[in-house]
Amino acid sequence: MDLITNLSLGFSVAFTPINLMYAFFGCVLGTLIGVLPGIGPVATIAMLLPATYALPPVSALIMLAGIYYGSQYGGSTTAILVNLPGESSSVVTCIDGYQMARKGRAGPALAAAGLGSFFAGSVGTLIIAAFAPPLTELAFKFGPAEYFALMVLGLIGAVVLASGSLLKAVGMIVLGLLLGLIGTDVNSGVARFSFDVPELTDGIGFVVIAMGVFGYGEIISNLSQPEHEREVFTAKVSGLFPTKQDFKDMAPAVLRGTALGSALGILPGGGALLSAFAAYTLEKKIKGRPGEVPFGQGNIRGVAAPESANNAGSQTSFIPLLTLGIPPNAVMALMVGAMTIHNIQPGPQVMTSNPELFWGLIASMWIGNAMLVILNLPLIGIWIKLLTIPYRLLFPAIVLFCAIGVYSTNNNTWDIWMVAIFGVIGYVFIKLGAEPAPLLLGFILGPMMEENLRRALLLSRGDWSVFVTRPLSAGLLAAGALLLVIVLLPAVKNKREEAFVED
Amino acid sequence: MNIKSQKDFFCGLMFMAVGGAFAWGASTYNVGTGARMGPGYFPLMLGVLLTVIGAAITFTALVVETEGGGKIGKIAWKPLIFVISANVVFGILLAGLPAIKFPAFGMIVAIYALTFIASMAEAGWKFKTTLILATVLAVGSYIAFVLALKLQFPVWPSFITG
């Protein structure tokens, strides 16, 4: 079996002491930022990107991936104990998780989230291992027209994912695409929109945008709100293990959440947040056993399903990145950046040209998930203590790490001035209710889209119909159109707005 | 005419301004044809698209009723100014400004300055706590970034190290 040989190659890479160490480090850091509200995986990964220069590429990617899925575990802890989503994908976990904590059942809730996440993470890893090779085969059939169509589909997916107005999200994508075009045009050598500033001919670094908008913008916005009254259920975490009845209730919910999360994660624009919302909605529709605690009052299924789904989704969202080189969400966009700084061009060729990296990363995800269960369940006490750190001690440290990280990308103060500008822009976005995640995705895809559009039209001698006459490309565009139509249907539109109200 | 949603109105205006600027800038480059695109083709397309989207958002903001008027609310000047200037001062102190012959003070001084300025963004900041925090961050950063990761930073003021 190919799968077995591939996975054994992966495990042989992932089980080296240095990679185990970085996986562990990533998981710890991921849990940490997951637990702490106000800092997310996007800002953290952006901050750490420069620090990974010195590492071997496999170790760097293993660590960054660990931060992403680790944050999904940590986010649930805060959601259950403090009723604050540590991560945006844990928003729905708050609803039933916090109610369970109030009834003195914080332990089973945490266990349901942890065990569900572990199961989902393992399944997600297996799915990547099984589906990546055939998808890679398919990717080799892709021409420029298909790639362009796929990116359009991906960007439409990102719009569906964004909360709030669809039109604004489209605007943010286009703005991101435009910002991505700043710098030297590869085909003609013309420095576009660079105002004769030498630093701008290389384009704007995406680390600068990510940190400015997601780091500084968020901090400023957080500081303008009065600090939340945090009611932490520290003393009440006793009896971690769920009862037999709990297991019976949560097992099917975990299975459903995993299936739904895995499917939604693969979709462009999908990922942890969408998966969690969808899983909770599905669980509410399914009738439980008679006499079950109603939803919203501490139903264990309302914790297990979304937590499994967000973990499965965060795992399978690696599939488009690893097979097609196309990031389905903002975190994956940063992973593209991480691969590029290590001179690895993301795309279908990664699996054949860097098999150690490809399978090592996949194997490390399973190891990381196993570490996370241990980190999050028996050691829960440590994380609870962290929740008592006030924000006023936290945010200067975040500002510092952003500044240091941004300086060390190029050892140049130019980036520090740029991140200041994007910090202000990020705050403006928040004030205007424009979500920045689609912007980052557009920014990464901008140059790729232009390149593929140019090539496609060059090959077709300027005939735009090439996008609809090639079956694969037509299919992808049709899927994109279908997605748009579905979202715009009144029934779905209302549901979508409802789902994001809790955001 | 009443603005029904302040947020959307200004967001639309922003898109229109930025889109227009990009489209105008793109038109100064060689645009070319579909088969042989010049450097201006794609940005011109996107710039026009963004302007149209912006116009549509502004229009809806004037027409469609929004709950609560989509108010932008107060601008948090204090955190905005302190956080951003903490960052800028950090940059100036870290590497200096060769243009005006401002010497580099290095990472340690820059960290203290950043921590203090950033902390002032919050109303209840205290000198002693901030001093402890800055010291912890300075020592931690020195160990993590300079000793462990071996990143190239000017650590001490240039007029001391020479």
CB contact under 8 A, A407 and B91: yes
Asked whether the predicted pLDDT for residue A204 surpasses 80, the reply is yes
B62 & B90 share domain: no
Per-residue pLDDT reduced to its tens digit, A265-319: 877 666 677 788 788 888 887 777 777 788 878 888 888 898 899 888 888 888 8
Q: Which of B29, B54, B70 is a domain's end point?
A: B70
Question: What does chain A come to in residues?
Answer: 503
* Total Cβ atoms within 10 A of residue B51: 23
Separation CA A320–CA B16 (nearest Å):
33
| A6-33 per-residue burial string, b: 16 or more CB within 10 A, e: under 16 | bbebbbebbeeeebbebbbbbbbbbbbb
The answer to whether residue B105 sits within a structural domain is yes
Asked whether the predicted pLDDT for residue A261 surpasses 80, the reply is yes
A17/A405: higher pLDDT: A17
CB contact under 8 A, A167 and B56: yes
B84 & B138 share domain: yes
Asked whether the predicted pLDDT for residue B73 surpasses 50, the reply is yes
Residue to mutate among B30, B46, B155, with most A CBs inside 10 A, is B46
Per-residue pLDDT reduced to its tens digit, A4-47: 888 888 888 888 888 899 999 999 988 888 887 667 788 788 87
pTM confidence score: 0.80
- The DSSP element (H or E) to which B12 belongs, if any, is helix B6-27
Per-residue pLDDT reduced to its tens digit, A82-114: 777 666 677 788 888 888 888 888 888 888 888
B56 & B81 share domain: no
User: Using an 8 Å Cβ cutoff, are A109 and A354 in contact?
Assistant: no
In chain A, the percentage of residues whose pLDDT exceeds 70 is 91
Separation CA A102–CA A157 (nearest Å):
37
Whether chain A has a CB inside 8 Å of the CB on B118: the answer is yes
Cβ-Cβ contacts under 8 Å, A175 against chain B: 15, 18-19, 50
User: Using an 8 Å Cβ cutoff, are A167 and A405 in contact?
Assistant: no
Separation CA B16–CA B13 (nearest Å):
5
Cβ-Cβ contacts under 8 Å, A464 against chain B: 34
Q: Which of B43, B70, B97 is a domain's end point?
A: B70
CB contact under 8 A, A457 and B7: no
Asked whether the predicted pLDDT for residue A380 surpasses 70, the reply is yes
Mean pLDDT of B34-57: 90
A271/A220: higher pLDDT: A220
Cβ-Cβ contacts under 8 Å, B134 against chain A: 396
Give A192's DSSP letter.
E
Bridge partner list, B102: B97
CB contact under 8 A, A462 and B33: yes
Separation CA A320–CA A341 (nearest Å):
19
Cβ-Cβ contacts under 8 Å, A432 against chain B: 7-8, 10-11, 14, 72
* ipTM score for this prediction: 0.91
B109 & B93 share domain: yes
B154 & B92 share domain: yes
Mean pLDDT of A335-351: 83
B65 & B126 share domain: no
Cβ-Cβ contacts under 8 Å, B10 against chain A: 432
What count of CB pairs under 8 Å joins A to B? 193
Q: Which of B49, B70, B91 is a domain's end point?
A: B70
* Per-residue model confidence (pLDDT) at position A231: 56
Q: Which of A50, A187, A223 sits opposite B122 (nearest CB)?
A: A223
Separation CA A269–CA A282 (nearest Å):
20
The answer to whether residue B82 sits within a structural domain is yes
B15 & B63 share domain: yes
Whether chain A has a CB inside 8 Å of the CB on B54: the answer is yes
B110 & B150 share domain: yes
Give the start-to-end residue ranges of the domains of chain A: 2-501
B82 & B156 share domain: yes
Task: pLDDT band for A162, please (50, 70, 90 cuts).
Answer: low
Whether chain A has a CB inside 8 Å of the CB on B11: the answer is yes
Separation CA A341–CA A323 (nearest Å):
19
- The count of domains in chain B is 2
B139 & B105 share domain: yes
* Per-residue model confidence (pLDDT) at position A220: 86
* Per-residue model confidence (pLDDT) at position A136: 81
Tokens 């789904």 locate to A309
Domain span at B154: 77-161
The answer to whether residue B12 sits within a structural domain is yes
Cβ-Cβ contacts under 8 Å, A407 against chain B: 91, 94-95, 153
Per-residue pLDDT reduced to its tens digit, A239-258: 667 778 888 888 888 999 99
B61 & B84 share domain: no
Task: pLDDT band for B87, please (50, 70, 90 cuts).
Answer: very high
User: Using an 8 Å Cβ cutoff, are A337 and A444 in contact?
Assistant: yes
CB contact under 8 A, A420 and B133: no
Asked whether the predicted pLDDT for residue A492 surpasses 70, the reply is no
Asked whether the predicted pLDDT for residue B5 surpasses 60, the reply is yes
B147 & B96 share domain: yes
The answer to whether residue B1 sits within a structural domain is no
Q: Which of B46, B78, B79 sits opposite A174 (nearest CB)?
A: B46
* Per-residue model confidence (pLDDT) at position B22: 92
